[in-house]
Structure 1
């Protein structure tokens, strides 16, 4: 699969879809992901660690992703299985679908919080690995949120609210796994089987076409891969889905988790797959916590603070990527309070310094530093040093790229003087990390 491969190869039949990455995506800097489903009812996982930091032999039985509950609860002897027996009496997973009421859900309210972060796009899950669709998808025989549980077209509500808020809208779709459709045993190892047959490939194809026809998403965000039987071009193939997408949305983009087929940008997840973080067509995704789905076991120690999230955003943009930061809604439809605090803090920072990340590119002439913490970006008329420090700050500039007389923090001119191959700026009374902007001498 293309997911996390350093050098995936496009089949010849998919080369027709290659195109320049649209500027709206390249310059977005920040997207907000949301995972929400029946798994939000138990909302349980072990907060063991980040993907890429937990040993693979431990990952599945001790999965920190609450959205994997339907898998983890079936692994013999796993803590999730013991929790499920103790708390839910071993009930069928679909009982959670019927218990999921989304009684406090207001898409406009969620998107108001999302838009206030300064994000450029928003992507909800439309079908995760449990196979439950958040719209009345074809062929689901009522196993969707219109017929059961919330009894709403949640994707339609998100699409309308996203566009009303002025953001681009994307859809996540799990093509590589569907535990309900396939009926396969739980996944306990990386090489355990996934659904690859023609029946599933055509079922998934019809879902993606329906999403395109109904909601005209700007982003198709696939996950895991695509069933092998659906790769070869044909009337119900992935190639047909991509052709339909680009006809309907010419400036749309797709990620690289559709198997080894086609992609407009690469993806990494937490600290896994970071070898793809090169150039300027990649995206790092992670939850605010260790899970994408809401996990009641997560506390402040497991979640990014606003300060940590801002540093991650700046670091990603300074290296050429976008950050897709996930929130896991509660079953009721509300944003968990600790996650809301992080989002609001990002928004405060972006209102001060968003000009240093939105529409920005890496500034390769200036070296990043961790002591003090400095990251560099550039826009059309400025170079920005984002510094996590107050008081006197020395910015290295041995090649005299920067014009120290133009130093600004936001709209405020600040005094800067050239010393010992660098520029000394006194940073006071600023929201940190602080962005110090300069015009260049060239």
Structure 2
């Protein structure tokens, strides 16, 4: 290899990903058995010194119960005594798992791609991953290749398939103390060559078995593997792109290579200025199923629709997470939100795919929530409540107007278009106006 940088991996963004504006994330694991976290708020809004000991991410249960004095540790002691975390793998039955039903729900929601967790920070693999012994779902617990089942079902619905992998953390291969700060997440992680080869073998196996269109790594990549020599991460990327020219990789591999940036809830929002980016978040405050979450935390259809509209208006795409129960059911609140969102979203699919430039964003919503999208041929304006609204007509053809969503009447008044919104069922009203 003669290249001295990672730039030789650069290529045009695959067209499918450029057009894709909505995906489904799936966090499902042994942590779905206890399914417990304190729903204290969203990442990016809670200080570090509170976040870790009161972690709302149920998928971090293995870490949180090891923090002395944490409510999760007390909950675990009261509920499970001194049972080790791996007992949850054996209790995870997935007896009601119906991958075809999941995929139909995701298709109805208007997803263009689906990304399940294949190995989270607890190190438990959802397929027969090399080197994991019996610590995977084929040898214990569900006794099934869950990733293969999801991949087949998703593709049967015509959706793209990707894989999440935690390359940065694996609590099963280290003896570090629990993470209590963001800095400890960055510093107390496996960085040696042995872990790099272990993780790289997993990613290569995922690529060979399931041909994913997205490689979604989390946290970081072991430093010993971030090089351009044979056996390193550069070679892994090059081989992946050679096998799948339509594939993309996210930005959580350290200072190496990526096709797109990510944000999480409101954290890492500086990445929203980049050319290609994705926001990921749960429907609640957790990614893994949290039995404590209720309508107070779970987004309803209107809230999800407004969040998605705002992300797309800023040039991004949304990867929203579902957290199935240990039995394999999508919780009712999450299912209802996705079904309603998909029904509302259907007339907007082509417009979203065609958004070609960022739209100016309001500094606040104090005067009412409004957003707009800009495609090469139209301006789409959104409002979330009944009322009368004016759209300045400069640069628009006010004679060519389409109502995409809501009960809306329109009238030209001088140089403006007046929208009279009677109702906003499901999600915001949307009106498309031709650009002159």
Which TM-score band applies after superposition, normalised by the shorter structure? over 0.9
Identify the residue that residue 349 of structure 1 maps to in structure 2.
344
Q: 2:369 aligns with which of 368, 373, 395?
A: 373
Instruction: Tell me how far apart the structure 2 counterparts of residues 406 and 319 of structure 1 sit (CA, whole Å).
Output: 25
Q: Is the 8 A contact 1:404 1:418 kept in 2?
A: no
Gaps of 5+ in 1: 1-10
Instruction: Tell me how far apart the structure 2 counterparts of residues 367 and 50 of structure 1 sit (CA, whole Å).
Output: 22
Q: Is the 8 A contact 1:356 1:435 kept in 2?
A: no
Q: 1:322 aligns with which of 317, 323, 337?
A: 317
Q: How much is the aligned-residue C-alpha RMSD, in angstroms?
A: 1.9
Q: Tell me, what secondary structure is at the counterpart of 1:410?
A: strand
Gaps of 5+ in 2: none
Q: 2:390 aligns with which of 391, 394, 401?
A: 394
| Per-residue Cα deviation, 1:180-233 (whole angstroms, up to 9, x for no partner) | 012322111223211101111110000000000111100000000000011122
Deviation of the 1:348 alpha carbon: 1.3
Instruction: Tell me how far apart the structure 2 counterparts of residues 119 and 45 of structure 1 sit (CA, whole Å).
Output: 27
| Pairs aligned (count) | 428
Instruction: Tell me how far apart the structure 2 counterparts of residues 351 and 401 of structure 1 sit (CA, whole Å).
Output: 27
Does residue 1:102 correspond to 2:63, yes or no? no
Q: 1:416 to 1:354 in 2, by over 3 A?
A: farther
Deviation of the 1:241 alpha carbon: 1.3
Instruction: Tell me how far apart the structure 2 counterparts of residues 12 and 21 of structure 1 sit (CA, whole Å).
Output: 22
| Per-residue Cα deviation, 1:289-325 (whole angstroms, up to 9, x for no partner) | 0000000111111111110000000000011000110
Identify the residue that residue 58 of structure 2 maps to in structure 1.
66
Q: 1:404 to 1:363 in 2, by over 3 A?
A: farther
Q: Tell me, what secondary structure is at the counterpart of 2:204?
A: helix
Instruction: Tell me how far apart the structure 1 counterparts of residues 409 and 56 of structure 2 sit (CA, whole Å).
Output: 46
Q: Is the 8 A contact 1:405 1:416 kept in 2?
A: no
TM-score, normalised to structure 2's length?
A: 0.94
Instruction: Tell me how far apart the structure 2 counterparts of residues 56 and 396 of structure 1 sit (CA, whole Å).
Output: 44
Instruction: Tell me how far apart the structure 1 counterparts of residues 266 and 161 of structure 2 sit (CA, whole Å).
Output: 26
Q: 1:388 to 1:258 in 2, by over 3 A?
A: same
Range with greater deviation from structure 2 (90-99 or 20-29): 20-29
Q: Tell me, what secondary structure is at the counterpart of 1:13?
A: coil
Range with greater deviation from structure 2 (294-303 or 381-390): 381-390
Q: Is the 8 A contact 2:261 2:274 kept in 1?
A: no
| Per-residue Cα deviation, 1:317-341 (whole angstroms, up to 9, x for no partner) | 0110001100101001100011111
Identify the residue that residue 162 of structure 1 maps to in structure 2.
154
Within a 5 Å distance, the mapping from 1:6-405 to structure 2 comes to 12-192=4-184, 193-362=188-357, 364=359, 370=365, 371-397=367-393, 400-405=394-399
Q: Is the 8 A contact 2:20 2:112 kept in 1?
A: yes
Instruction: Tell me how far apart the structure 1 counterparts of residues 302 and 423 of structure 2 sit (CA, whole Å).
Output: 16
Deviation of the 1:142 alpha carbon: 1.4
TM-score, normalised to structure 1's length?
A: 0.93
Does residue 1:409 correspond to 2:384, yes or no? no
Instruction: Tell me how far apart the structure 1 counterparts of residues 423 and 360 of structure 2 sit (CA, whole Å).
Output: 28
Instruction: Tell me how far apart the structure 1 counterparts of residues 360 and 251 of structure 2 sit (CA, whole Å).
Output: 30
Instruction: Tell me how far apart the structure 2 counterparts of residues 235 and 66 of structure 1 sit (CA, whole Å).
Output: 38
Q: 1:337 to 1:413 in 2, by over 3 A?
A: closer
Q: 1:403 to 1:361 in 2, by over 3 A?
A: same
Deviation of the 1:402 alpha carbon: 1.4
Q: Tell me, what secondary structure is at the counterpart of 1:375?
A: strand
Deviation of the 1:375 alpha carbon: 1.3
